[in-house]
Structure 1
C-alpha cells in the first residue's frame, strides 16, 4: 500500500512537465520556423557555450553558427536555392552538423545517406532523391567513387569533398569544399527568414526491411515539435547538460531525439563516428554526459560488459531511445543507476510519437495521437474485418496492429514515392472516408499502475517478425527476450 501511495504522488509530480507538452501547439505551416531558426536563437543566447565535442575538437554555438553561415553563403553562390535537394554522405562529425545547418538556413533539403551503403542501395538513394549536388566526407569517397558512372550527379563542381583526416586525398572527380569558402561571410543569412515550418528539412531513408530504402519526408514542423517535446518532458535537460550521442545522425533517433533536442536546450553533445562499448564509460566520465540517446542494441552491448571502475558513480541521469529489452532495462536501472529511462516509439515517416514520460518500467509510454489497435491475421498477413466491412478493435491487452488516425495534428508526410506513401494508409477503417497510418507493428496495452488515466503501451513485434506456432502468434522479439534470460546465452 505504501508503495502505491508513493507512486501516486510521484506521478502527480510529473504533471509540471506534462502540462506544457499537452498545451504545446505545432508551429503553423506558414510560420518562419526551422532547425536553423532555433539554432540561431540558441547561438545568440549561449554563443560561447560548448555545442559539439568530437575527438580532440570543441565547437561553441557561435563557432558552429558562423561556420554554417560561411557554407550557406558559398552554396548559394553556386546556385543552391530553397527546395533544392543536396546529398549529405558523411560520418558523424562536426562537418556533418555544419552542413545540415547550412542547408537548413537556405531552405534546401538535406538528403541523409546511410554511410554503410554501397553499390545498388547507394545508387537508389542518390538517384531517387533527384539531388543536384553531393557533400561527401573524405571517408566516404571510395564508396561513392564505385558508383559514379551510375548516379545522376555528374559534374565535378557538384561533388563537394569535405576533408577528414590526413589519410585521405582529394579525388580528381570532386572539388575541395574547404578551399572554396570565404571565412568573412559568417553573418546570418536573410534567406533563412523565408524558411517556413512546412518546408522539408531533410529526407531520412528507412532501413529497407520491406524493400529498397524509402525516403521519408521530414518537414521543419516535425523536426521542431519532436525535439521540443522530448527536450521538455523527456530529457528535461538545460544548457548545463551534455549528451552522449554515438547514433548515426542520418537516422531520426540520433538526429531528432539527439542532436535537435540538444539545440533546443542549449546543451552540449559528445558525438562519435561509431559506438564503442569498451570506451563508452570513459567518454561519459570525460565529458560528464548526463544524458544518453540510445537504441536497444547499444544498451545490450553495455550490459554484457564486465563491471568496470569507469561505470561507478557515473553522471548519467536520463536516457531516451527505443528498443530497450526488459532485462537490459533492469541492468541500466540497477547496475548503472540511471534514474530515468524514456523509451519511445515512432517512425521516421510516422505521424505519432509514444513516450514513457511518467518513467514507468518496460513500456513505450503514452501518446496524444488518436491511435487504435486492430485485429490482424499474422498467418494470412491481412487485417481482419467484421461483417460490416470495418476493422475490429482489440479491447483487451492482446497484441494488435497499431494504426494512427491521419489528421491536422497527426499529419502523415509519407515518402517521396507517392505509391509507397499510399500503401501505408488504411482507409475506411471504422467509418467511410477515414484514413489511418499503418505502422506495421504489433503493440499491446499494459497495466503500469497509476498513470493519470493515460493508456500505456508495449511494443510486441514487427508484423514480418511474427510467426504461427501451434495455432498461436509468436513474436520473434519475445523469443529473443526469453533466450536472453538464460545465463549461458550471451
Structure 2
C-alpha cells in the first residue's frame, strides 16, 4: 500500500476514466449543455440569475419550484412574489449598484427575497444568522446596504447594531405596486455582482466575498450541468443555511439548470433527515462532510433506504467514509466538488470516481509551500509544482474566463493574489487550501492552511476567537488553533489561555461569555489553562507546539471542554462524544 492509500486517498488512473465513460451516456445532452455554457459564457453577456429564473417561470409556470415542510410553490407563484418584493425594494431606492442585506432563516421567502434583489441588479448580502454583537455590526457596516430584510427571529439581534431601513420579511409584499418582471432584469451584464457571501478570513472579522452573476452562471454550467445533472422531474433537498454557498449557488443553480424543484429544510437534523427527504419526494440532496458523518452515526432505520435519492452534491465527504456512506444509504452517485466562496473556479467529480473532488478544465497549480508561513514557496523568483501523489497548496489562475471577484476590501483581495508565480506577468488566486494531486488532473481536499480552520462546514478565524476570549476580564492572553477530533471533519477549536494573577477559570462564566460573542461553530470545544504564551522574536505566539500537543494525555496543564453551554473539566470520553454527535456545540 503506497502513501496515498494509507491516508485514505487514491490515484486516479486511465482505467478509472475509461470505466466511467459508458455510464455518462444517459446524461450526454445535459453534459453537452453544461460544457457549451462554460465555453460560451462571457462577463459581458446580458445574462443573470434573475433572468434565468423568470424565463423558467414563463416556460413552465405550473411546475413546482419550492417545497417547504407541508407547502409547495410553483415557478409562476414564486416569480410573482419575487416581483412584488422587487417593487417594494425599488420604492426604497434599490436598483443597479445598490446592496440589500438579508438576515433570515431557511424558508422560501428568504430565497425569494434574495432573488428579488438580483432581479433589480442589486447585490444581496446574505448575513450569517449566527452573527451577533460586534461581528454582526461589522458585517452590516461592510455591506452599506440600502435596506435590510430581516426575519422576525433575528430582529432582536439587529436591535443591538446600527442598521439601514429594516424591512420585515413576513410583510415584505405589503405595498407592492406590481408583480411584473422588472425591465432591468433582462439588461444586466453577467459581470454584475449578485451576492456577498460572508467568509471568515485570517484578519479576524468576516469578509464579504463577491459573487458575480458570471461566476454563479459558471457554477450552473459546471457543477449543475456537468456534475449534478438533474432532470426536470427531480427534487433536490437542501437543509444547509441559505447564506451558505452550497445552498445559494450550488443547490439553486443545479435546480434552475434543469427547471427542477428545490426542497428547503428549516435546519439539519440527523434524526429526521431521511424523513424529510422521503416526505419531500427528493431525488437528490446537498451536503457538507459533517452532515454525512452525523448521518452515519445515527442508528440504522428502515426509512434510510426508502428514499429515491440517486445523486448527491457537496464537499468534504472524507475518503475513509466514502464507501460506507454510499453503501449504507444506497447512493448511486457522489458529485463531490471543491470550491470556496471567493475562489474563481471549482472542481467537480463529474465521472463519479470515488474519493476525489474531481477535475477542473481551467488552469490551476498545486505548488510547494512554506509550512511556517502558509505561503507558496519560491525557488528563486518562481514557484514549483508538486508531483502526482503529493500534497501542495492549490493556486487557481486568474484570467478573463476565470476572474477573481474579490472582497469588499481591496487590500484583502490583493493579499489573496500571487503574482509572477511561473511567468513575470501571471496572476493566481491563493486558496489557502492543501490538496493532493491524484492524477488525470484530479485533486482531493486535504486541509486548510494558516490561521483559519474549518469546523461544522464554516471557516473559523482564530484571531476573531482570540479577541472574544481576551475581552473576558480574567484573561491576560489567549491563543486559538484547530485540533483534530477522530471521527470528525475539519478541526475543532482549542484555546490556550493565560489567566490574570489571582483569578481562576470559571467554566460557566466563560461559556456564557463566548456564546454571546461568537457564532456557535466558533466557540472552542477545548480550553487549556497555561502559565505563559511563548512568542517569537516578532511577537507572534508560538502556536505550532500547542496545536501539535492538542489535548493529548501527556498535557499536564488544566484542561476543560465545552458542553451544555459551559466548560467542565476534561474527561477522556469527550472526543468520542463530539464525533458521535452527542456534543453538538
With structure 1 as the length reference, what TM-score do the two structures score? 0.86
Instruction: Select 2:209's aligned residue among 216, 222, 232.
Output: 216
Give the C-alpha shift of residue 480 in structure 1.
5.7
Q: Secondary structure at the match of 1:33?
A: coil
Any idea what the Cα deviations from partners look like across 1:82-110, whole Å, max 9, x if unmatched? 11111111111111111111111111111
RMSD: 2.6
Q: Secondary structure at the match of 1:383?
A: coil
Instruction: Select 2:168's aligned residue among 143, 161, 169.
Output: 161
1:181–1:361 CA distance, 2 compared to 1 (3 A):
same
Q: How does 1:315-330 map to 2 (within 5 A)?
A: 315-330=308-323
The aligned counterpart of 2:476 is none
Contact 1:461 1:477 in 2 (8 A): no
Give the C-alpha shift of residue 226 in structure 1.
0.3
1:465–1:415 CA distance, 2 compared to 1 (3 A):
closer
Q: Does 2:240 match 1:230?
A: no
Contact 2:394 2:433 in 1 (8 A): yes
Q: Equivalents in 2 of 1:435, 1:477: separation in Å?
A: 33
Instruction: Select 1:277's aligned residue among 252, 263, 270.
Output: 270
Instruction: Select 1:392's aligned residue among 384, 387, 397.
Output: 384
Q: Equivalents in 2 of 1:483, 1:263: separation in Å?
A: 31
Instruction: Select 2:233's aligned residue among 231, 240, 244.
Output: 240
Q: How does 1:21-100 map to 2 (within 5 A)?
A: 21-23=34-36, 24-100=38-114
Q: Equivalents in 1 of 2:16, 2:436: separation in Å?
A: 27
1:394–1:368 CA distance, 2 compared to 1 (3 A):
same
Q: Equivalents in 2 of 1:446, 1:284: separation in Å?
A: 33
Q: Equivalents in 1 of 2:418, 2:399: separation in Å?
A: 13
1:457–1:86 CA distance, 2 compared to 1 (3 A):
same
Q: Equivalents in 2 of 1:483, 1:356: separation in Å?
A: 21
Contact 1:346 1:354 in 2 (8 A): yes
Q: Equivalents in 1 of 2:229, 2:92: separation in Å?
A: 41
The aligned counterpart of 2:401 is 409
Q: How does 1:125-140 map to 2 (within 5 A)?
A: 125-140=139-154
Instruction: Select 2:117's aligned residue among 97, 100, 103.
Output: 103
1:249–1:482 CA distance, 2 compared to 1 (3 A):
closer
Give the C-alpha shift of residue 229 in structure 1.
2.3
The aligned counterpart of 1:179 is 174
1:466–1:350 CA distance, 2 compared to 1 (3 A):
closer
Q: Equivalents in 1 of 2:169, 2:490: separation in Å?
A: 45
Contact 2:92 2:147 in 1 (8 A): no
The aligned counterpart of 2:307 is 314
Q: Secondary structure at the match of 1:92?
A: coil
Q: Does 2:6 match 1:10?
A: no
Q: Does 2:132 match 1:122?
A: no
Higher deviation after alignment, 19-28 or 84-93: 19-28
Any idea what the Cα deviations from partners look like across 1:208-258, whole Å, max 9, x if unmatched? 465211111111111111023222222211210001100111121111110
Contact 1:52 1:270 in 2 (8 A): yes
Q: Secondary structure at the match of 1:225?
A: helix
Contact 1:378 1:466 in 2 (8 A): no
Contact 1:198 1:219 in 2 (8 A): yes
Q: How many residues align?
A: 452
The aligned counterpart of 1:340 is 333
1:425–1:327 CA distance, 2 compared to 1 (3 A):
same
Structure 2 portions without partners, runs of 5+: 1-12, 454-481, 492-574, 581-585
With structure 2 as the length reference, what TM-score do the two structures score? 0.73
Contact 2:126 2:197 in 1 (8 A): yes
The aligned counterpart of 2:370 is 377
Q: Secondary structure at the match of 2:446?
A: strand
Give the C-alpha shift of residue 194 in structure 1.
2.4
Q: Equivalents in 1 of 2:35, 2:58: separation in Å?
A: 28
Contact 2:337 2:358 in 1 (8 A): yes
Any idea what the Cα deviations from partners look like across 1:154-180, whole Å, max 9, x if unmatched? xxxx210122xxxxxxxxxxxx53433
Contact 1:465 1:476 in 2 (8 A): no
Contact 2:202 2:450 in 1 (8 A): no
Structure 1 portions without partners, runs of 5+: 164-175, 448-453, 468-474
The aligned counterpart of 1:462 is 448
Higher deviation after alignment, 397-406 or 187-196: 187-196
The aligned counterpart of 1:438 is 430
1:268–1:381 CA distance, 2 compared to 1 (3 A):
closer
Contact 2:103 2:127 in 1 (8 A): yes
Q: Secondary structure at the match of 1:179?
A: coil
Q: Equivalents in 2 of 1:303, 1:210: separation in Å?
A: 35
Instruction: Select 1:190's aligned residue among 175, 179, 183.
Output: 183
Contact 1:396 1:445 in 2 (8 A): yes
1:437–1:26 CA distance, 2 compared to 1 (3 A):
farther
Q: Equivalents in 1 of 2:488, 2:389: separation in Å?
A: 19
